[in-house]
Amino acid sequence: MNVALWAAKTGLDAQNTQMAVIANNLANSNTTGFKADRAMFQDLMYQNVNQVGSQSTQNTQNATGLSLGTGVRIAATEKSYLQGSMLQTGGSLDLAVSGNGLFQITMPDGTLAYTRDGSFTLDAQGNMVTASGYPLSPAITIPITAQSVTVGADGTVTTTTAGTSKTTTIGQIQLANFVNLQGLMPIGGNLLTESASSGSPQVGAPGTNGFGTLSQGSLETSNVNTVTELVNMITCQRAYEMNSKAISTTDQMLQYLTQNLS
């Protein structure tokens, strides 16, 4: 089959995938704690038509050769773990991590998932849960008698009870970090799970050992840069058009051939 057609076809495919990534980033430009993806392009194998340097006779070598590239593919999509900006909300259970670290969330099946989205609420038992109702791990349970909740920069959760001046420490929020953050698998719902390439989680208290600190009353916004995405969208569209043009030109060449040599 004609390499010219297929090389351009792989270009269309890859640009189409990139457009999907850009569209998803733009759609999530208001998602709390969202980390932007980017598509990584990679050229496909080259096909040797004439091997340069092959022996033309026992004593001589071919001085000429030709290898044809067979196109492009999206090798990976990578998340950018750059810090999003801080949005002040004032909510006492809105937490943002400033620096490294992810909140640990217990999934319904008992496994752990990780997130940068710190918009917690309370469930009927007083547990701190995500918007989807999955509890924070280790579990933090706010007693019903608590009047106010304070989360310190180091993750310590303290409450005050009506009628007393004493504060009670009820737990400490722990963060997790990974050797290869890009290796985490996004599963939707602002959650990421550990994979074979992410390495195992390193757990620690905020503010210690290179972990970021928590700030109460703020949320981390999406780190999608809409200007970058729009510029990417333009380049993606033009590249798509060029590949489409390459296909139609190759088609016209073949058409010319079949129409004029019959």
Q: Between residue 79 and residue 118, which ones bind another protein under the rule CB under 8 A?
A: 80, 82, 100
Nearer Cβ to another protein (14/105): 14
User: Which of the residues 211 through 230 are near another protein (CB under 8 A)?
Assistant: 211
Distance in Å, CB of 4 to another protein, minimum: 4
Q: Is 61 among the residues that bind another protein (CB under 8 A)?
A: no
DSSP 17-40: HHHHHHHHHHHTTTSTT---EEEE
Q: Are 72 and 41 in contact (CB under 8 A)?
A: yes
40 counts as binding another protein under rule CB under 8 A: yes
The one among 197, 226, 230, 237 contacting another protein by CB under 8 A: 197
Determine if 198 is a binding residue for another protein (CB under 8 A): yes
Q: Is 50 helix (H, G, I), strand (E, B) or coil?
A: strand
Residue from the set 22, 72, 142, 146 that interacts with another protein by CB under 8 A: 72
10 binds another protein per the rule CB under 8 A: yes
Instruction: Give me the sign of the Cα torsion angle 87, 90, 91, 97.
Output: positive
Determine contact, residues 154/126, Cβ cutoff 8 Å.
no
CA distances to 38, 88, 183, 234 from 76, rounded to whole Å, are: 8, 34, 11, 21
What CA–CA distance (Å, rounded) separates 31 from 219? 10
- 23 lies in the site for another protein, by CB under 8 A: no
Give first-to-last CA distance, the chain, whole Å.
20
Binding residues for another protein, rule CB under 8 A, total: 71
Selected from 27, 30, 43, 237, the binder of another protein by CB under 8 A is: 43
Q: Which residues pair with 127 in a beta bridge?
A: 141
Q: Among 118-126, 135-143, 166-174, 232-240, which window interacts with another protein (CB under 8 A)? A: 232-240
What residues numbered 126-155 form the site for another protein, per CB under 8 A? none
Rg over CA atoms, the chain: 27
* CA distance linking residue 110 with residue 30, whole number of Å: 29
Contact indicator for 100, 108 with CB cutoff of 8 Å: no
Site for another protein in 233-252 (CB under 8 A): 235-236, 238-239, 242-243, 245-246, 249-250, 252
Residue 3 engages another protein in binding (rule: CB under 8 A): yes
Binding region for another protein (CB under 8 A) out of 76-84, 86-94, 106-114, 185-193:
76-84
- Decide: is 54 part of the binding site for another protein (CB under 8 A): no
Smallest distance, Å, CB 149 to another protein? 28
Query: Is the CB of residue 39 less than 8 Å from the CB of residue 236?
Result: no
- Tell me whether residue 127 or residue 177 sits nearer to another protein (CB atom): 177
Give the residue, chosen from 179, 185, 187, 230, that forms a contact with another protein under the rule CB under 8 A. Answer: 179
